[in-house]
Amino acid sequence: MKNQNSKQLPKRNLIVTIGLVLWFLLILGRLVELQVFKHAQLKNEAIDQNRYLREIWPTRGTIRDCQGKILAQSLSVPSLFLARGKNEENSSLLEKITALKSLIPLSSREWQRIRNRIDNGDRFIWIKRKISWEDCEKVKQAKIPGIFVQMESKRFYPLGAHLAHVLGGVDIDDRGLSGVEYKYNNFLQGKKGRILILRDALHRKYDLEVIEPAQPGQDLILTIDSNIQYIAERELEKAIFENQACWGTVIVSRPSTGEILAMASYPDYDPNNFATAEPSALINRAIQENFEPGSAFKLILAAAALELKPDIFHRTYDCSIGYFSIGGLSIRDHRRFNLLSFPEVFIHSSNVGAIQVALEIGRDYLYSWIKKFGLGEKTGIDLPGEETGILRPPNSWTVHTLPYLAIGYEISVTAIQLLQVINAIANQGLLFPPRILKSLEGPEGIQKLPSSPPVRILSSYVAREITDNILAKVVDLGTGKAAAIDGFPPAGKTGTAQKYDPWLKTYSSSRHRSIFIGFAPFDKPAISIVVVIDEPKAGRYYGGEVAAPVFREIGRRVLLYLGEIPRFKPEKITLASSENWRNHHQP
């Protein structure tokens, strides 16, 4: 019995030993498989489980006015997306979306888009981007599986439609589509970065490793002053409604630098809802609308004539006949004049006199001066989509072109070009290109942008003569009396253009465009203003009746706002206060 047991013991030991060795070999083999053969794959899987490499979207730069007031800023907002689970059926996804529909508003178009994406078998589907925080909270509380929130950046324009055309707008991915948002998109958008996020077993972030830092977009400081912009927009809108006009534009600038202080265009839109804006409202009429300037063009004619013949100032022109005929064409004055001196031709805006001046200086000379003032080409303002205007070369002119040109027809300009012309006069012959961007602000600090060097296009003598003896008197004695500003004598020129009717192929006698260009005070210009009102239908249509009052109101308020000192002490002094209001309005 003892022998039998002693024989069985080594055998049992052997079996156990072999079993243990096999078990050990099995474990060893598995370890080799995991550690050697599947090393790379498993390492990647492990990294995937607790490490996430993510792109960091840079913050889009802020746009401010010259006083530092925020005009456009990007803020974080939630977006909802649907993630399809492994082997998840379309019906299950549709059920989730249906449940969601009762929580947040989904249009039929959005619903259809989501359905199509589900039917296509997409794993990631945007449900609704950039929703409100309230809607996001509702969805979070509903805890629908597979529906997640991702933070995105949304552009906000706190002043609404204010300055819409200058700011432009962005698309759903915050890329600039128009205005300075488009023009300076590269500066504003910054550069994407990459970050490695380490998470624990509960998927909580516990460490971040910046692989490539994101560079935030640079802030833009514009030359625009939002208070002046408001004044310009308000007065423009008032004029449009009072005159039942189609559209209008106002530009206010500082002539000594070319800085644009305000650029208003009507109709306007809210850049917060850029995608739904009317296409016609998106047009920046200040730079994207070509029109015939009418008598406002006579300013260039006067400058060219004075440069060619300084003694022309003392000439007189017989305008008593009231019309001018050339090649079967008859151009009339707006009223009958007699003999007019050279300045009076422009002060009273006589077409007959202006045509005689134009014929005297000749087409080539006038054409060269039009080019000198920059008409027919872009001013180079830092806004996208600027129009060049239309200026035909002299070899394509007909017998009617020169007389028509003399009174501002057969040439198309933009409001910004007219501003450049008036600024050159205000600056005593120096032309500063207009600009919108004042400086850039980034992590390295403020980078001031130097203004382009001025170009002398006119002698200071001629510019002064035009200012003192023509433009200032247009407001004192001529067609622009309605532009007179109490305490700040301005200088300017009116313009009234009949609109061309493409159906009748002639100029319409019922559709006009009213223009006023000028600056104030005339002896030391602080501001220059261009006003264009298209198709006033309330009875008045002359530039001196429709556009000049807009110039006056804007000029008066802006000059006071800028702290300009009036040239004389006004007789009455009234303080704006509720006390005064009560005294005036209560019995």
Partner 1 sequence: MVKRKLPKIEIFLIVFILFIALLFLTFYIWYQAELIRIGLENQRIQEQINQLEEDIKRLEVLRSSLLSPERVEKIAREYLNLTEPDPGQIIYEELFTGFKK
Count CA atoms within 13 Å of residue 508 on its CB side.
12
Beta strand pairing status for 169-170 and 147-156? Answer: unpaired
Q: Does 154 bind partner 1 (CB under 8 A)?
A: no
Cα 251 to its chain centre, rounded Å, is 13
Q: Which of 74, 178, 256, 295 is catalytic?
A: 295
Helix, strand, or coil here: 182?
Answer: helix
State which of positions 524-553 bind partner 1 (CB under 8 A): 552-553
Footprint (CB under 8 A) of partner 1, residues 393-452: none
CA dihedral 469, 470, 475, 480 (to 10 degrees): 170
Among the residue ranges 155-163, 166-174, 344-352, 373-381, the one whose residues contact partner 1 (CB under 8 A)? 155-163
Alpha-carbon span 458 to 528, nearest angstrom: 18
3-state secondary structure 197-225: EEECCCCCEEEEEEEECCECCCEEEECCC
Please say which residue, 207 or 501, places its beta carbon nearer to partner 1: 207
Q: Binding string, 229-258, against partner 1, x = CB under 8 A?
A: -xx--x------------------------
Nearest alpha carbon to residue 515 among 489, 491, 537, 497 = 497
The strand pairing partners of 56, in sequence order, are 193
577 is a catalytic site residue: no
Whole-number minimum distance, CB 211 to partner 1, in Å? 17
- Which residues inside 441-500 make contact with partner 1, applying CB under 8 A? 486-487
Site string for partner 1, 215-234 (x = CB under 8 A): -----------xx--xx--x
Residues 312-351 close enough to bind partner 1 by CB under 8 A:
none
How many residues make contact with partner 1 (CB under 8 A)?
47
Query: Which residue among 2, 102, 577, 587 contacts partner 1 (CB under 8 A)?
Result: 577
Q: How far apart are the first and last CA of the chain?
A: 136
Rounded distance between C-alpha atoms, residue 80 and residue 91, angstroms: 19
Does 137 bind partner 1 (CB under 8 A)? Our answer is: no
Burial of residue 453 (CB within 10 Å: 0-12, 13-18, 19+) is: exposed
Q: Per rule CB under 8 A, is residue 158 in the interface with partner 1?
A: yes
Cβ contact 206:212 at 8 Å: no
Binding to partner 1 by CB under 8 A, coded x per residue (else -) over 167-206, reads: -------------------------------x-x---xxx
Per the CB < 8 A criterion, the answer to whether 36 and 193 are in contact is no
Q: Give the x/- contact pattern for partner 1 in 55-84, rule: CB under 8 A.
A: --------------xxx-x-xx--------
Which of 322, 385, 454, 566 touches partner 1 by CB under 8 A? Answer: 566
Q: Which of 55, 137, 171, 207 binds partner 1 (CB under 8 A)?
A: 207
Per the CB < 8 A criterion, the answer to whether 127 and 80 are in contact is yes
Binding site for partner 1 (CB under 8 A): 69-71, 73, 75-76, 156, 158-160, 162, 198, 200, 204-208, 226-227, 230-231, 234, 486-487, 552-553, 556, 560, 563, 565-570, 572-578, 580-582, 584
Please identify every residue annotated as catalytic: 295
